[in-house]
A and B are shown apart, each in its own frame.
Chain A
């Protein structure tokens, strides 16, 4: 395997978060999703530090919860129950 191929990947996941030390990581996923939405609402989607939240919830959340049917769609419909006020 060539070095260039290895350099292509930066396999990463989100690190430990002291707010969520338990086995149950549901809220860890949800909190990062909410934080990302708040972040881009204030700073815009191109603001690089927001990607931290994006990567976190992409790593933690099941795609079923976010993109496939649930949270993203609810955001568009305005029916997402999370408090997204900034």
Chain B
């Protein structure tokens, strides 16, 4: 490439830059109340400006999207229930003595579940061997742990005549259990 008007400029520079950028000379200096960068004049500064522009672009897109997410939940409802061991005299054939409870703790699978334990009277322990879960339950203190159950299952533990039965079910079954419980609750 060769331009008669710009005979003094080397062909290397001309091949790299477009005609437009050669025709004006950048003589940049800070201005009062300047917001952006000054025009870049080296590959390093070009990279910095490029990074800055990309980050801001995606940042703004994400922030706008987040602001659109609206919380429409209005009804707050809690579910309380007791779970006691089924007495031996009430057992059905096939049920495990000292292990069955009247109300199982039903939880959804493939979901992170927060478990908070505390004690009402003395120190207890919440333990479910097949989940690898064992956490102290102390009066006046809330101990937190979490679990993630990967398949539908039934697991329980016998611990000083206080069995725990955890029933992990699919989300749909969990929701129907929830609605059943709420419909049946005395509140």
Interface residues of A (CB under 8 A from B): 1, 5-6, 8-13, 23-26, 28-29, 51, 54-55, 58-64
Interface residues of B (CB under 8 A from A): 72-73, 76, 78, 80, 114, 116, 118, 120, 135, 140-145, 172, 175-176, 178-179
Asked if A13 meets B76 with Cβ closer than 8 Å, knowing A6-B172, A23-B143, A26-B142, the reply is no
Are A58 and B78 in contact, CB atoms less than 8 angstroms apart?
yes
Are B172 and A62 in contact, CB atoms less than 8 angstroms apart?
no
Tell me, in angstroms, the Cα distance from A8 to B178 when the chains sit together: 11
Tell me, in angstroms, the Cα distance from A61 to B107 when the chains sit together: 19
Are B175 and A6 in contact, CB atoms less than 8 angstroms apart?
yes
Asked if A60 meets B116 with Cβ closer than 8 Å, knowing A24-B143, A26-B140, the reply is yes
Are B73 and A12 in contact, CB atoms less than 8 angstroms apart?
yes
Residues of A contacting B141 with CB < 8 Å? 24, 26
Return A23 CB to nearest CB of chain B, in Å: 5
Tell me, in angstroms, the Cα distance from A8 to B72 when the chains sit together: 11
Are A25 and B143 in contact, CB atoms less than 8 angstroms apart?
yes
**Additional 12 contacts, C-beta under 8 A, given A1-B172, A54-B76:** A8-B175, A8-B179, A9-B175, A9-B178, A9-B179, A23-B135, A25-B144, A58-B78, A60-B142, A62-B116, A62-B118, A64-B120
Closest residue of chain A to B173 (Cβ to Cβ) is A1
Q: Count chain A CB atoms within 10 A of each CB in B72, B76, B120 and give the residue with the most.
A: B76
Tell me, in angstroms, the Cα distance from A60 to B78 when the chains sit together: 11
Residues of A contacting B172 with CB < 8 Å? 1, 6
Pairs A-B, 5 closest by C-beta atoms: A25-B142, A25-B144, A10-B73, A1-B172, A26-B142
